[in-house]
C-alpha cells in the first residue's frame, strides 16, 4: 500500500518523473502528469506518446522518485506499468484528466495573480492523443538524509 506520507507528497505535485528502459536497457526519464493515486496504483497521463510509451510496450518495469523537501527524505517507487487500453477505464481517466486540468489551470491563475507573477501558459492542456499509464507500485524505498534505506514491499500482482 502507498503510505500516507508518500501519498501526500505525490498529491502535492502536478508532475512526476518516471524512469523506463527499452529492451536494450537504454534508460529514459520523463515527467508525466500525475492524475490520481489509489492504494496500490498511480495513474499518469502522457500527451507526448513517444519514448516512454514505446519503452513500456517493451519493458513494463518503472521507477519514480520524489523528495520531501522539509525532511530531505526521498522515496523511490518501483513497479510495473501498463498502458491503459480498456475503453471504460480510459474514458474514466479522461474525465478525471479534464476535471484536473480545470482545477490546476484555475489554481495557476489564482496563484499567479496573488504573487503578481505572470505565466506564459496558465492552462494545463493536453492533446487529443493522450495515453494513460497505470502503475502498480510494488516497492517503496525510503532514503534518509544519512543514506539509510528502508524498503517496503507494497502491492503485488494478482
* Domain contains 70: yes
* Domain contains 106: no
Tens of pLDDT, residues 66-106: 999 999 999 999 999 999 999 999 999 999 988 887 676 66
Cell of residue 104, nine digits? 490546476
* Domain contains 124: no
Q: Helix, strand, coil % (nearest 5) of the chain?
A: 30, 40, 35
Query: What is the span of the domain harbouring residue 40?
Result: 4-86+130-153
* Domain contains 116: no
Structurally, the chain folds into a number of domains equal to 1
Name the pLDDT band for 19 (thresholds 50, 70, 90): very high
Give per-residue burial for 20-47: e unless 16+ CB within 10 Å, then b: bbeeeeeeeebebbbbbbeebbbbbbbe
Residue 13 contacts by C-beta under 8 Å, 6 or more apart in sequence?
Answer: 34, 66
CATH of the domain at 149: 2.30.110.10
Q: In whole angstroms, what is the distance from residue 145 CA to residue 149 CA?
A: 10
* Domain contains 95: no
* Domain contains 114: no
Amino acid at each position: 500500500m502507498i503510505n500516507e506520507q508518500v501519498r501526500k507528497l505525490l498529491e502535492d505535485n502536478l508532475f512526476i518523473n518516471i524512469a523506463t528502459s527499452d529492451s536494450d536497457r537504454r534508460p529514459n526519464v520523463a515527467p508525466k502528469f500525475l492524475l490520481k493515486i489509489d492504494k496500490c496504483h498511480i495513474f499518469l497521463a502522457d500527451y507526448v506518446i513517444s519514448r516512454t510509451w514505446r519503452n513500456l510496450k517493451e519493458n513494463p518495469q518503472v521507477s519514480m522518485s520524489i523528495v520531501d523537501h522539509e525532511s530531505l527524505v526521498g522515496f523511490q517507487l518501483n513497479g510495473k506499468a501498463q498502458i491503459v487500453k480498456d475503453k471504460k477505464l480510459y474514458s474514466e481517466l479522461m474525465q478525471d484528466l479534464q476535471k484536473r486540468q480545470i482545477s490546476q489551470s484555475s489554481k495557476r491563475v489564482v496563484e499567479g495573480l496573488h504573487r503578481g507573477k505572470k505565466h506564459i501558459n496558465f492552462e494545463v492542456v493536453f492533446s487529443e492523443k493522450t495515453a494513460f499509464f497505470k502503475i502498480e507500485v510494488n516497492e517503496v524505498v525510503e532514503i534518509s538524509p544519512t543514506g539509510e534505506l528502508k524498503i517496503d514491499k507494497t502491492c503485488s500482482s494478482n
